[in-house]
Amino acid sequence: MNMDADVNPIFLEDVGEIVMSRGGRDIWLVKAITRHEAFRDRCLPEKIYVVDFPGRGAGEEFLLSRQACGPEKFLMIKEVGHDMIRLFERMFDGKVAQFVILWGGRPLDLLDANPPLLRSRLLDTTYIKLTRVEDNLGFRGWNIVESSFVGEWWQDDTWIIMEECIASGQTLNYFVEEALQHHRPKKIFLFPVCASLEGLEGIYSICSDHSVELIPVFNGALIEVAEEGVSLPFTDLGLQPRTIVTRHFYQDLKDRYQSTPLCWVGDIGDSIYKPEEHLLETLCDMLAVGMDFEREDFSLWSPIVRSEQFCSRLQDSYPDVFKQVGRYISS
């Protein structure tokens, strides 16, 4: 499943420009991406921002760390997300509310920001639990189930939707469609740490229909979500022919993931709250896309993979995977 070497990649340098650099971070502005031949007839915003963390900064390190899990992954998302939000704080209008989509969006919660984002008052905050479930009759093979809502539909000028990852976009579509029935803010901001352009199309269409300005700010890449993926449709976020990154980061990604389309983050909720499940899935996915375990630096992985319990479970549940990787992780 290696990338086709004959496919000409699209780089940020081809479609955008750096409009600001601050604190070692470059802010790229991609304007009118639908004018590019690869994205014609797509429903995408006129302006999309990408925050680049060159030189293996926090944002790049996150996208290069599929193996990260537990508290490490939580803190990485928190650092990257809050860094991006602070870069755009001056663009917020009036009162600001945040809507935290659980559980993946929990690390982005600005009530935990240090120092606080707004020093004069706490942000209006709502927590909502949404779950994406497979449904052959649903859009792109998925449906959304809402299980809890704590807070209110704040009547503020600026909304920030805390969703850490956007793949199919179904979760965001569901939320925004419902939210705009209660109030229409002037602006909605998105700060995902890993996201696809396909996932952006639905929410942009909804916002446009309601005359709400959508301001998407992506971390490091405009990703093409894999229609099939390793095991699920519209889920894997990795190097695809129309994934857009800077030239320097493209080579880092190819080296790290051995020119395969391995998803860079996996299931983020599982990676944080069910690290063992995430590590098992990661090893299975690596084998499925043809990565060479001998080239993987397992010293960077959680000690969980070297535990007797994990190795026994891997051997019992995924013997083909254990056969290939066991000698590299067993004590």
Q: Is the backbone of residue 151 left (phi > 0), alpha (psi -120 to 50) or beta? A: left
Distance CA 47, CA 31 (A): 5
Distance CA 203, CA 193 (A): 17
Tokens coding 98: 């945040």
**Beta carbons within 8 Å of 320's beta carbon, 6+ residues apart:** 287
Helices (H) and strands (E) in the chain, counts: 10, 13
Q: How far is CA 138 from CA 24, 141, 143, 147, in A?
A: 42, 5, 5, 18
Do 170 and 200 form a contact (C-beta atoms < 8 A)?
A: no
Please tell me the pTM assigned to this model.
0.93
Going from N- to C-terminal start, the domains of the chain cover 10-256, 294-331
Distance CA 268, CA 239 (A): 18
- CATH T-level topology, domain 10-256: Rossmann fold (3.40.50)
Provide the CA 68 distance to its chain's centre, in angstroms.
14
pLDDT tens digits for the chain (331 residues)?
565 534 789 999 999 999 999 989 999 999 999 999 999 989 999 999 999 998 889 999 999 999 999 999 999 999 999 999 999 999 999 999 999 999 889 999 999 998 888 767 789 999 999 876 765 555 555 566 767 889 999 999 999 999 999 998 988 998 999 999 999 999 999 999 999 999 999 999 999 999 999 999 999 999 999 988 887 888 899 999 999 999 999 999 999 999 999 999 999 999 999 999 999 999 999 999 999 999 999 999 999 999 999 999 999 999 999 999 999 998 6
For residue 70, the surrounding DSSP H or E stretch is: helix 70-87
Q: How far is CA 199 from CA 150, 162, 223, 236, in A?
A: 25, 15, 9, 12
pLDDT number for residue 331: 62
Q: How far is CA 93 from CA 37, 112, 144, 157, in A?
A: 35, 21, 30, 6
Distance CA 180, CA 196 (A): 22
Q: Is 192 exposed, middle or buried (0-12, 13-18, 19+ CB in 10 A)?
A: buried
